[in-house]
Amino acid sequence: MYDLFSDFFDNAFGIFNQPASVKEEKRCPVCGRTYADFRRTGKLGCGECYKTFRPAVTKTLRQVHQTSAHTGKIPSKSGESIKRQRLYESLKKQLSDAVKNEDYETAAKLHKQVREMENEVKKS
């Protein structure tokens, strides 16, 4: 179905805010889709599209979601355990980095937090 107003406003106003590479209807070398296809459907054709249209897609995602990084969703029923697991993994990585950088004071604090979390799990 042809949407006259959408095409009019996209062409009259939207094209001026797009990077030059998008104005030329650059195509994905793998699937052949264009940035206009993404704007029309909200979907990219393949993984290479993310690389090909990165500046324009990043700008669009930031306008819609305030960030272009995918953080995923956490189910409400199991959310607490998933959050705790992510925190535990983050602390372990920070601990490893602190030891690697010979920041032993920070490493000691992180080690204490990791052990506390492990003890809580054992008590459960």
pLDDT, tens only, 31-86: 999 988 888 888 888 889 888 888 888 887 777 776 656 666 667 676 788 888 88
- Greater pLDDT, 95 or 50: 95
pLDDT of residue 99: 94
Instruction: Annotate 11-47 with three-state secondary structure.
Output: HHCHHHHCCHHHHCCCECCCCCCEHHHHHHHCCCCCH
Taking the whole predicted model, whether its pTM rises above 0.85 is answered as: no
In this structure, the number of other CB atoms found within 10 A of the CB of residue 117 comes to 15
Residues 6 or more apart from 8 whose CB is under 8 A from it?
none
Question: Cα–Cα distance between 97 and 74 in angstroms, integer?
Answer: 27
User: Contact at 8 Å (CB) between 52 and 28?
Assistant: yes
